[in-house]
Amino acid sequence: MTDLTKVGMADMNTVYSPGILTTLGLGSCVGICLYDSSTKISGLVHVMLPSSEQIKNNSNTAKFADTGIVKLMEDMLKMGAKRSRIVSKIAGGSQMFNFNDTSDIMRIGTRNVAATKETLRMLNIPLIAEDTGGNYGRTIELYSETGILLIKTIGYGMKQI
């Protein structure tokens, strides 16, 4: 087994090939994988909330989609990744509990995914694959050698994107 680097909630990490990045039990949070196919430098950030604006305690950049993706990209560039070659894959953003009303907080998964896509678009990072939404948890593994993202669930099988 190649070494597996864990990324916690509101946390990020980067690896060189052949490192593997993983985050366990994504629910309404979103796991954003950035990958440079030329250098195989890979990064993963596990964000909890869409935006760092209007949040008084926002010092942890990895907690928010808007600041987390930017910071992850900067870290990868410092490692030698090429800006123009970076692509992304995302997973998570589910709604774990179902309620009839659609208050903002119950739709947090959807909002996290939307904010993630918006940030990626603003940074001109292509989104090449996603496995988002639903009402179940996901464990994901990003293989830097191939750029493959493996997604494991309970009761909804396993897949690669």
- Name the site residues for other proteins (rule: CB under 8 A): 8-11, 24-29, 48-49, 55-57, 60, 63, 94, 96-99, 105, 108, 135-139, 154
Based on CB atoms, which residue is closest to other proteins, 100 or 124? Answer: 100
- Smallest separation, CB 97 to other proteins (Å): 4
- Which residues are designated catalytic? 29
- Smallest separation, CB 57 to other proteins (Å): 6
10 DSSP assignment: T
Based on CB atoms, which residue is closest to other proteins, 17 or 153? Answer: 153
How many helices (H) and strands (E) would you count in the chain? Answer: 2, 10
Angle at 136 between CA 134 and CA 141, to 5 degrees: 105
Angle at 104 between CA 103 and CA 107, to 5 degrees: 95
- Smallest separation, CB 118 to other proteins (Å): 18
Examine residue 50 and say whether the peptide bond preceding it is cis (omega within 30 degrees of 0). no
Q: State whether the Cα torsion 102-44-70-89 is positive or negative.
A: negative
- Smallest separation, CB 149 to other proteins (Å): 17
55 DSSP assignment: -
Based on CB atoms, which residue is closest to other proteins, 57 or 84? Answer: 57
Beta bridge partners of 68: none
Based on CB atoms, which residue is closest to other proteins, 41 or 44? Answer: 44
- Residue listed under structure tokens 């009839």: 100
